[in-house]
Amino acid sequence: MRKTISIDEIIRDIYVSPSKLAIKLARKYRYLPYMIERYIRVLGVRETTKLLEAFEKPLAPVIRTNIVLIKPEKLTERLENLGFKLESITWLPYAYRVVGAPGSPSIGSTHEYLKGLYYVHKDAAALLPPVLLINDDYEGDVLDMCAAPGGKATHLAQLIYGRGRVIANDLVLYRIKSLVGHVMRMRLNNIDVTWADARKLPSIMKRRFERILLDAPCSGEGTIMFDPGRKTRTTIKDLAVIVKRELELLVAALNMLEPGGILAYSTCSIAPEENEYVIYRLMMIRDDFEIVEPRNKLFEWSPWLTSYKNMDYPDDYMKCVRIWPHIHGMMGFTVCLLRKI
């Protein structure tokens, strides 16, 4: 089996020639044309327009209760007394969407926030990977390979508090500063922070894990509602470089996973190149993993694509999670669970 793939080969695989309609929509909504062409191929014209309109609408932030320090009902009572209006996330009982706020303080500057009683997420989709990765009765450590700024690492730490530790790794120092700040603020003493290129972790860290989270650095194409600059930031070549890095990170993650262990691969991108294509390429160089279905269907998410362009993907992709902004009212997001065999 081939162990490497070149940037040029990736570009050949992922390149699409934009149609006149894609170019027209790209001008109207201010996107790179290849992105619109891809949406049309996956969704059709009508659904593509709905997606583009969804990206134009802001999303309310979401808070996650630090259940190590406070019960959800106590936190909501305190915040509502301050003038915040909270809406329950039906599939996660300790998380709430902030649908109303007073003029002051902001949700990220209350005394409750500074005391570490909750974490502020841009959106509820980011809550999925830890919940899908960790069983209620799981005991053991978890590796978060690309952990900063800390939303998922602190969530994992809550879920295994008293039963295991989180090794929270990242490469970017200014992001690690945010990670350490959240760990200290939330008083989670079961998190160890490390600084390394996650692709080199198998040779640096002489141990293996039963649970690994790889929330991979990606194009962020699912977060356009928060950062409109992502409409034009990632060229085809840029995307190919990101894809290659994601594949290298997955190889490193599998090398650190115990046989029978579970790896959660997630991105805040709706690009099939960063999700379906990456796992497809991983299957071409590794045969020691299988896709597994999440144990709980928390809500009616969409499955991964089983074909795109001239590539047919395995039926097991139906087990993976895809969040579409225009369908689910959240940012674009994906999760795929892999078991090492």
What the block records as the tokens of 173 is 């120092």
Closest-CA residue to 14 (of 228, 235, 199, 223): 235
SS (H, E, C) the chain: CCCCCCHHHHHHHHCCCCCHHHHHHHHHHCCCHHHHHHHHHHHCHHHHHHHHHHHCCCCCCEEEECCCCCCHHHHHHHHHHCCCEEEECCCCCCEEEEEECCCCCCCCCCHHHHCCCEEEECCHHHHHHHHHHCCCCCCCCEEECCCCCCHHHHHHHHHCCCCCCEEEEECCHHHHHHHHHHHHHCCCCCEEEEECCHHHHHHHCCCCEEEEEEECCCCCHHHCCCCHHHHCCCCHHHHHHHHHHHHHHHHHHHHCEEEEEEEEEEECCCCHHHCHHHHHHHHHHCCCEEEECCCCCCCCCECCCCEECCEECCHHHHHCEEECHHHHCCCCEEEEEEEEC
What the block records as the tokens of 77 is 């009572």
Residue positions annotated with a catalytic role = 268
Side chain identity, residue 193: V
83 CB neighbour count, 10 Å cutoff: 12
